[in-house]
Structure 1
Amino acid sequence: MGSRPVQHRYCRCGTHLAADNSEHQCARCQRASRDKLIAPPQVAAEFWQTERFRQAFAAQHIGWLSRAYRTHPHHYAVYGPSGISQTLLGQWLGLGQSQISRIETGAPIRHLDTLHHWVRVLRIPAELLWFRLPPEEQLTAAESSAADLVIPATNQGLEPLAEQKSPGAETHEEFADDPERDPVLVAPWNHRGTVEVAVVLSGSDGRVKRRGFLSLTGPALTAPAHQWLVHEPGPLVSGLVGRRVSGELVGRFTAMVAELRRMDDVAGGGSVLAMAQQAFAWVTGLLDRAGYAERTGRGLHVVLAELGQLCGWAACDGGDYELAQRYNVVGLRAAHIAGDRPLGAHILASMANQSARQGQPAEGVTLVETALAGTRGQATPALLAELHVWQALAFATLRDTSACTAAISQARTQVEQLKPDDDPPWLYWLDPAAITISAGNCLLLLGQADHAAVLLNEGIAEFGESFVRDRQIHLVQLADALARPGKQRDLEAAAGLGVQSIDLAETLDATRGAGLLRDLYLRMTP
């Protein structure tokens, strides 16, 4: 009997697909498909030479220009026959779809800093503009907040940049219930904007009640990630007044943050949040009022970023997801100003983890993809393992088995290449056991309780004793797997694990583990 002929598979571009490539695209086309959602495409000079663009430039209307840009025939091959959607354009600009719609149909925007932001993101040629751009070295400082894009013009001419109000100009007003005016979200992505939103979040100016925030969803949640990706870090303005901050103090802060992380492992987020917030406010005060050299200021921004991530993690662990989102965003901003791309990607990974667990897995996928794009060539195996394992969690929550399995495989490949001496201290928790447990939890979410039980049991056996909070959670997850129908079902063992988890929970101030215990109780109750 003759052998079966080999089935050759090809990408749409004509590239032969390898036998182990389960996708329908080659690697280059996969990257292109992903990258087209991350940032605006590069276009040639003749792209702007259409009648619709000429009308928009003549009318000095950025909204008309927006529509001409989105619906340009150049985009049809990549983005489909309708061109670029308002939602996608909004993500690139840090806006929602409804904001883009209002800009396209409303009166012309006259704010110079707003117009500069659009020019920078869309790479509009300067010679076509009806206004003058600032010098290149001033462009970052001139970037607009996202909220400026929906503020109507107050005069018929262009407002001078110096007359623009800072994000904190209005005092004693509650913006926390309106994301379009939330000072944490709308400030410029530069040094001063980052310090101002950190001041707001630390509560020192009384403008925002930290427990009054609305939950961010959709583009409002992912927009900061896109801004982190497309903006270049601006110059870090050195502090010139106040007492001088030494490099030694920055080193002490770094050690303090590391100790707070360990306390979080042992006692839970509820026990650590208040201390982390105090440290966050302390560092914010130094950045706002003290004097420091550029190198020291960069170090302070790194500390602020790490504290923002820790406060976000602890707040989420304590059940305040909305507050966690704001701390994460400020941490991301601070990492951006410090020029620390891996730290920014780590914060995005933390945001993706929390998003997936809060029922926003699609946003979690976007956050991880943005982090991967922003650290290409800079990420260590440990950082890649973290990104892929939380990507797997988001895919598992979406019930996308194939994508989840691929992400788990990527995480396992990277964890085999760990070089702890090359990794930053905030990845201290990542090891093969942590990846194995996370893989087991993903399989549990996918309904594969038998395989999940094997991985969870294997990972817990190698898991560090010092991670008390995480161990308590993982014991519940294993008990959950053993309590479900299937060949792995063992109710007696599940009950025993539940008791162990309760013992650990009594030492913790954290809501997530307690919630998992309640779910386990309901599952095992006849």
Structure 2
Amino acid sequence: MASTKDRRGDPNEDLARLVKQAGASHKSLAAQVNKIGSAAGVPLRYEHTSVARWVNLGMIPRGRTPEFLAAALGERLGRAVSVDEIGMYSRSGGNPDVGLDFARDPVDAIRVAATYWRTVDRSRRRLVSNGFAIAAFATPVTRWLAKPTDAPTAHEGGRQVGRSDLDELWKAADEARLWDSRFGGGNWKAGSVTECLRLSAAPLLTGTYTETIGRELFAATAELSRVVGWSAVDTGHHAVAQRHFVQALRLARAAGNVESGCYVLATMALQAFLRGYPEQAADLAEGAYERGLGHAAPRVLAFAKLAEARAHGRTGNAKAAKAALGRTEELLDSIRPGSHDPEQLAYMTHARLAADATEVHRDLNDPKGAFIWNELAEPMPADRFTRATGIRMAVLATSHLQNRELERGLTAANTSLRILSNVHSARAHSYLHDVTRALTPWKRHPEVAVLIQRTRTELPAAA
């Protein structure tokens, strides 16, 4: 009998689920694997006890057996089954592109998303924490821009999906956004939403639902995936975030929801901007805005324009940045009571515009412009937008230093440090590390030396 290697000693939930769906006994599945192996010129002698070990102990057979097992299950299920889908990864580390697929067919898209979410914990361990490949966005973005919506899709599979299931998914996304704003992407609630994707959303995608329920299911899971992706960005896990964004964009298309896709694509633009690709970020944000025209609410379009402004600010294009900020303000001014206005973007206000515009002008090395916008950002409630307030104070500190105002810069920096020391956000902490670099000309000043030392000891290095 071919030998096996122990993965972790944990049950293989993915394999157990597929075996159950296929209606296969362990004995018949072992015989089928042996038959497929023999046809491929690989003699095997597996028995029912072998399958039991794969399912119950998470053991992985060596050689090509995982491939044969996937093929055996595929024959019974009447579709292709991958080695990743059965929870078995090669000794070389598995599929490096897992989660980056943007399937053309909606049925394949649902399967890809469900498979990735079920394996995301194992995938996370195989990915570089801050790895990011801008080229990986090319195919998903091109396909979404070319065709942002799919026809409605009903599904026959596992459990019946109902209204209460959808309410649970929306509630999880709402709570995660609130906790993310107050405590950063590293808070415990972010982990619970990842579990919600794996344990709740993934099984629902492969359940039984009508076209109408399906559309909202895809929209809710798209938003959940976007939220988890942004939490991963906030903690510096950019490879994981990128995969969540791709799946969110694909599910937004399956939902037939251009507005949702616009929001996801604008969020992808922010990730590209933060990873040092401002030119590409501007393109992504522009694409989100143009595709969303006539479909997305003004607040969603404003979010896309704000992302574009930030990208132009980083490239030093003052004219384009200020034009995008102006359009953002016009869009926010156009919102009328009673009009369609997505609740998940309630944070996209004039105060949020002012806070980001402050950063744009800092990037443009225009401290006076930054001070003007910062005055408008004051109304943001620090108890709800803790991270954003801390970031804004760090940006203000850097702007004062650009203006050669050391005392004011130190005051703002110390306020930022006090706020952000309780926020689990590598992204937010990076702003304070930017401040310490801006303080280099004054590093011999006693108060500066203390602040630099406190920042280094109280906050981890930026991801």
Query: One fold, TM greater than 0.5?
Result: yes
Cross-structure match for 2:109: 194
Structure 1 452/279 Cα, relative in aligned 2: closer, same or farther at 3 Å?
same
Distance in 2 between residues matched to 1:163 and 1:323, nearest whole Å? 31
Distance in 2 between residues matched to 1:402 and 1:284, nearest whole Å? 44
Structure 1 320/218 Cα, relative in aligned 2: closer, same or farther at 3 Å?
closer
Structure 1 379/196 Cα, relative in aligned 2: closer, same or farther at 3 Å?
same
Structure 1 476/176 Cα, relative in aligned 2: closer, same or farther at 3 Å?
farther
Cross-structure match for 1:296: 213
- The offset of 1:249, in angstroms, is 2.2
Cross-structure match for 2:322: 405
> Which among 409, 413, 418 is matched to residue 498 of structure 1?
413
Q: Does 1:440 align with 2:358?
A: yes
User: What amino acid sits opposite 2:415 in the alignment?
Assistant: Q
Structure 1 288/386 Cα, relative in aligned 2: closer, same or farther at 3 Å?
closer
Cα shift readout 1:424-459 (whole Å, capped 9, x = no counterpart): 112110111111121121111011122112212331
Distance in 1 between residues matched to 2:182 and 2:92, nearest whole Å? 32
Distance in 2 between residues matched to 1:278 and 1:429, nearest whole Å? 25
Distance in 2 between residues matched to 1:163 and 1:200, nearest whole Å? 17
Cross-structure match for 2:184: 268
Cross-structure match for 2:305: 388
Cross-structure match for 2:367: 449
Q: Does 1:240 align with 2:152?
A: no
The within-5 A match list for 1:40-189 is: 165=80, 172-173=88-89, 182-189=97-104
Q: Which moved more, 1:329-338 or 1:199-208?
A: 199-208
Cross-structure match for 2:229: 312
Higher-RCO chain (CA-CA 8 Å, sequence separation at least 6): 2
Q: Does 1:343 align with 2:260?
A: yes
Number of aligned residue pairs: give it: 360
- The offset of 1:328, in angstroms, is 0.6
Verify the 8 A CA contact 1:176 1:209 in the aligned structure 2.
Answer: no
Q: Does 1:512 align with 2:427?
A: yes
- The offset of 1:520, in angstroms, is 1.1
Distance in 1 between residues matched to 2:235 and 2:91, nearest whole Å? 23
SS in 2 for 1:442: helix
Structure 1 170/437 Cα, relative in aligned 2: closer, same or farther at 3 Å?
closer
Distance in 2 between residues matched to 1:167 and 1:504, nearest whole Å? 46
> Which among 356, 365, 375 is matched to residue 282 of structure 2?
365
- The offset of 1:285, in angstroms, is 2.6
Distance in 1 between residues matched to 2:220 and 2:356, nearest whole Å? 28
Q: Which moved more, 1:227-236 or 1:370-379?
A: 227-236
Distance in 1 between residues matched to 2:112 and 2:90, nearest whole Å? 14
- The offset of 1:187, in angstroms, is 4.7
Verify the 8 A CA contact 1:195 1:284 in the aligned structure 2.
Answer: no
4+ long deviations beyond 3 Å: 162-171, 173-179, 203-211, 213-219, 232-237
- The offset of 1:360, in angstroms, is 0.8
Q: Does 1:471 align with 2:408?
A: no
- The offset of 1:207, in angstroms, is 7.3
- The offset of 1:263, in angstroms, is 1.0
Verify the 8 A CA contact 1:245 1:286 in the aligned structure 2.
Answer: no
Distance in 2 between residues matched to 1:338 and 1:235, nearest whole Å? 8
Q: RMSD between aligned alpha carbons?
A: 2.7
- The offset of 1:345, in angstroms, is 0.5
Cα shift readout 1:47-98 (whole Å, capped 9, x = no counterpart): xxxxxxxxxxxxxxxxxxxxxxxxxxxxxxxxxxxxxxxxxxxxxxxxxxxx
Alignment gaps of 5+ in structure 1: 1-161
Cα shift readout 1:263-307 (whole Å, capped 9, x = no counterpart): 111111011321121111134333344222222222211111001
Distance in 2 between residues matched to 1:232 and 1:343, nearest whole Å? 10
Structure 1 210/365 Cα, relative in aligned 2: closer, same or farther at 3 Å?
farther
> Which among 280, 284, 290 is matched to residue 197 of structure 2?
280
Distance in 2 between residues matched to 1:232 and 1:513, nearest whole Å? 32
Cross-structure match for 2:71: none
User: What amino acid sits opposite 1:308 in the alignment?
Assistant: S
SS in 1 for 2:99: helix
Cross-structure match for 1:225: 141
Verify the 8 A CA contact 2:118 2:202 in the aligned structure 1.
Answer: no
User: What amino acid sits opposite 1:299 in the alignment?
Assistant: E
Distance in 2 between residues matched to 1:205 and 1:501, nearest whole Å? 33
Distance in 1 between residues matched to 2:274 and 2:193, nearest whole Å? 23
- The offset of 1:396, in angstroms, is 1.2
Distance in 1 between residues matched to 2:278 and 2:208, nearest whole Å? 42
Cα shift readout 1:215-245 (whole Å, capped 9, x = no counterpart): 4434432321111121363344423233212
User: What amino acid sits opposite 1:436 in the alignment?
Assistant: A
Verify the 8 A CA contact 2:352 2:380 in the aligned structure 1.
Answer: yes
- The offset of 1:324, in angstroms, is 0.8
User: What amino acid sits opposite 1:333 in the alignment?
Assistant: R
Please, what TM-score do these two structures have when normalized by structure 1? 0.63
Verify the 8 A CA contact 1:176 1:212 in the aligned structure 2.
Answer: no
- The offset of 1:327, in angstroms, is 0.5
Structure 1 176/341 Cα, relative in aligned 2: closer, same or farther at 3 Å?
farther
Verify the 8 A CA contact 2:148 2:261 in the aligned structure 1.
Answer: no
Q: Which structure carries more helix by proportion? A: 2
Distance in 2 between residues matched to 1:381 and 1:389, nearest whole Å? 12
Verify the 8 A CA contact 2:85 2:115 in the aligned structure 1.
Answer: no
Cα shift readout 1:235-259 (whole Å, capped 9, x = no counterpart): 4442323321211221232122112
Q: Which moved more, 1:413-422 or 1:442-451?
A: 413-422
Verify the 8 A CA contact 1:479 1:494 in the aligned structure 2.
Answer: yes
Please, what TM-score do these two structures have when normalized by structure 2? 0.71
Cα shift readout 1:84-140 (whole Å, capped 9, x = no counterpart): xxxxxxxxxxxxxxxxxxxxxxxxxxxxxxxxxxxxxxxxxxxxxxxxxxxxxxxxx
Alignment gaps of 5+ in structure 2: 1-76, 444-463
Distance in 2 between residues matched to 1:259 and 1:388, nearest whole Å? 26
Verify the 8 A CA contact 1:342 1:378 in the aligned structure 2.
Answer: yes
User: What amino acid sits opposite 2:323 in the alignment?
Assistant: A
Cross-structure match for 2:244: 327
Verify the 8 A CA contact 1:341 1:375 in the aligned structure 2.
Answer: yes
User: What amino acid sits opposite 2:342 in the alignment?
Assistant: P
